[in-house]
Structure 1
Amino acid sequence: MKNAKKILCLLLAISMVFSFVACSKDKENVPSSSDNTNVKDKTNEDSKEDVKTVYPFKFTDDSGKELILEKVPEKIASGAPSITETVYAIGAQDKLVGVTEYCNYPEEAKQKEIIGGYTGPNVEKIIELGVDLYITDTIADDVKKTLNDAGVMVAVITAKNYNDIFAKIALIGEVLDKKQDSENLLESMKNRQEAALNAISGLKGKKVFHEVWHDPLMTSGPGTFIDEMIKMCGGENIAGDAESPYPEFSVEKLIERNPEVYLTADDGFKTVDDIKARTGYDQIDAIKNDRIYFLDADVISRPGPRIVEALELIAEAMHPEVFEGK
């Protein structure tokens, strides 16, 4: 059982790295629907419920491909947990017929057909389910071609940074004719973000370290969602000057930079005592002052609707006194 957990943790760490690579791969191909004249304008607050996507709907995905939806998709499949969470959050789950084996939130998503996993999508299953739109964050060209040849449209939608997550939720809302629902969701997310950041505004920032993996020690470096959120909360990511997004980080450097807050995943494999017992860790302020925080690995790594919850968790870890009793 312990080895199985270790493998799952390692897969999570690897998936974070590949997720970042996927996010960065097509950085110049920014999807846009701003020039799309097929979406009705919101004329006033009273007509909010009438905001609909008008088809044919044209947009450019993150692979740089221009796509045209002739009508609202009837059957969709998701190739990433963040996309599955978005589909549920905007109320489009009735269209969702397939998800990956890692799509575990919300709980109802586990009841959907499995159409892929770490090795990629199950093309035969997707075709068998009659999927007309497959939304994913990354896909091999040959797999995309096979699906396209079978009549399945593939949309690559990948958030490249924290703010881009909001844009991608809006895009998915337009694609699935859930524009108003996505706008309502985004408004709620922005309100929560504003409340969290206002609560810690003006407070002294903290030096923070985020452990992605422990052997070898790996962390979240520049350009990652974690790095962005630490900075948004007024903190300093002590690995913010690393040369890669998820670098190995020596214990010697960790001790030298001496973080005040130590973040890691609540993966069920390690405990606070395990971390405290590591060689040299007794010299680190975060360890000496019991500032070790275990965060939900899915929440802090998925570029979807729960990213604001991740921001709240980081803000609370940096300034727990502000959030006591809340």
Structure 2
Amino acid sequence: MSRLLNVMMAVGFVVLTAHSHAAITVTDDLGNQVTLAKPAQRIISLSPHVTEMIYVAGAGDRIIGTVKYSDYPAAAKNIPRVGDNRQLDIERILAMKPDLLIVWMHGAYERQLEMLHNSGIPYFFSEPHKLDNVAETLLKFGSLFGTEKQAQVAAAEFRQQVQQLNSQYQNKSKVKVFYQVWGKPLYTLNDSHIVSDAIRNCGGENIFGKLPTTAPVVGTEAVLQENPEVIITGDSKTQAVSGVEQWKTFPTLLATKNNNLISIEGDLVNRSGPRIIEGAKLICQGLEQARQKRDKTVAQPQGKK
């Protein structure tokens, strides 16, 4: 009996050990499979939105390097820098011996990424195109970091807030929206960007959503021709003058005429991380105010009769 018990305990130990070291495999946003032998302990984040997601997923203390502008939460400001969205310090990254790189697909360092890939470091490409993708990414990060419980709670909370916006705004009358990333040159975003999905969830329509480029440059005349009912600018915290100011010189523009010029902190909308839900709420509120102004304008002549 004692021998049988010893054998069973030995088998149980082997099973538990095998389970604890089971490989982790997830699919990134390029459709590539990312496999780790064990949960990542030394993570390098190559995008501010990725840094935010890692913290929310429960592994912020494992980030050993990140890029310029990764400034949220406050603790992220103390993480060593390994480059920006244009240039990476390859030697420093390799010297840090990360066991996972998490990369934003639009950084201008493709050749450097190829070098890192050839070094054998696993990497995950992250670019959520829709609000729902943020929750999905949090769950994947939870798997990669072994922080499933915290990631599941965060993902469920995020999804609940998205569903709340959907039920409240998505079936309301459409509002034509121009979203401005930058004023000179005049950058906007098309429907493949997560900002457009936030606008859609609020019952809005991106006037340049069908353009083929993710972040196209458009002309002032093109905006005037589309005559949006609302103009939203994603402004930097360090920006002296809001981007909406340039549209006040066009009094016949519908958005200007109805005072539907909305400035939102750019980090809440341009970063496709967990805080975009706060930006989406502000977008929804702005569009709802535009509808109310529209309704008052329509109702006013009837009241005079």
TM-based fold match above 0.5: yes
How many residues of Structure 1 are paired with residues of Structure 2 in the alignment?
270
SS of equivalent residue, structure 1 residue 282: coil
Map Cα deviations across residues 80-99 of structure 1 (whole Å, 9 max, x no partner): 11110011112211211111
Relative to 1, partners in 2 of residues 1:69 and 1:96: Cα closer, same or farther, differing over 3 Å?
A: same
Q: Give the one of 275, 287, 292 matched to 2:246.
A: 275
Mapped partners of 1:156, 1:201: distance in 2: 30
Q: Give the one of 171, 177, 189 matched to 1:208.
A: 177
Matched, 1:90 2:57: yes
Map Cα deviations across residues 97-145 of structure 1 (whole Å, 9 max, x no partner): 1111120111110011111212233222222223221111237565345
Q: Contact between 1:208 and 1:238, CA under 8 Å: does it hold in 2?
A: yes
Mapped partners of 1:213, 1:141: distance in 2: 24
Matched, 1:109 2:76: yes
1:17-36 matches, within 5 Å, as none
Partner in structure 2 of residue 255 of structure 1 = 224
How much has 1:321 moved relative to structure 2?
Answer: 8.6
Q: Contact between 1:255 and 1:283, CA under 8 Å: does it hold in 2?
A: no
Mark the runs of 5 or more structure 2 residues left unpaired by the alignment: 1-18, 293-305
Mark the runs of 5 or more structure 1 residues left unpaired by the alignment: 1-51
Q: Contact between 1:135 and 1:155, CA under 8 Å: does it hold in 2?
A: yes
1:129-208 matches, within 5 Å, as 129-138=96-105, 142-148=111-117, 150=119, 152-200=121-169, 202-208=171-177
Give 1:195's aligned amino acid: Q
Report sequence identity in percent. Answer: 24
Relative to 1, partners in 2 of residues 1:310 and 1:54: Cα closer, same or farther, differing over 3 Å?
A: farther
Partner in structure 1 of residue 295 of structure 2 = none
Map Cα deviations across residues 288-310 of structure 1 (whole Å, 9 max, x no partner): 22111111111111121122222
Relative to 1, partners in 2 of residues 1:179 and 1:149: Cα closer, same or farther, differing over 3 Å?
A: same
Matched, 1:317 2:290: no
Q: Contact between 2:46 and 2:66, CA under 8 Å: does it hold in 1?
A: yes
Relative to 1, partners in 2 of residues 1:132 and 1:269: Cα closer, same or farther, differing over 3 Å?
A: same
Q: Give the one of 79, 89, 94 matched to 1:122.
A: 89
Q: Which deviates the most, 56-65 or 80-89? A: 56-65
Matched, 1:70 2:31: no
Mapped partners of 2:241, 2:204: distance in 1: 25
How much has 1:64 moved relative to structure 2?
Answer: 5.1
Q: Contact between 2:233 and 2:243, CA under 8 Å: does it hold in 1?
A: no
Q: Contact between 1:144 and 1:154, CA under 8 Å: does it hold in 2?
A: no
SS of equivalent residue, structure 2 residue 76: helix
Mapped partners of 2:101, 2:260: distance in 1: 42
How much has 1:149 moved relative to structure 2?
Answer: 5.5
Map Cα deviations across residues 195-222 of structure 1 (whole Å, 9 max, x no partner): 2333335532211111122233332223
Mapped partners of 2:243, 2:28: distance in 1: 42
Q: Contact between 2:68 and 2:83, CA under 8 Å: does it hold in 1?
A: yes
Mapped partners of 1:304, 1:151: distance in 2: 27
Relative to 1, partners in 2 of residues 1:243 and 1:91: Cα closer, same or farther, differing over 3 Å?
A: closer
SS of equivalent residue, structure 1 residue 169: helix
RMSD after superposition: 2.7
Relative to 1, partners in 2 of residues 1:107 and 1:204: Cα closer, same or farther, differing over 3 Å?
A: same
Q: Contact between 1:53 and 1:179, CA under 8 Å: does it hold in 2?
A: no
Mapped partners of 1:317, 1:77: distance in 2: 36
Partner in structure 1 of residue 10 of structure 2 = none
Q: Contact between 2:23 and 2:37, CA under 8 Å: does it hold in 1?
A: yes
Relative to 1, partners in 2 of residues 1:226 and 1:157: Cα closer, same or farther, differing over 3 Å?
A: closer
Partner in structure 1 of residue 14 of structure 2 = none
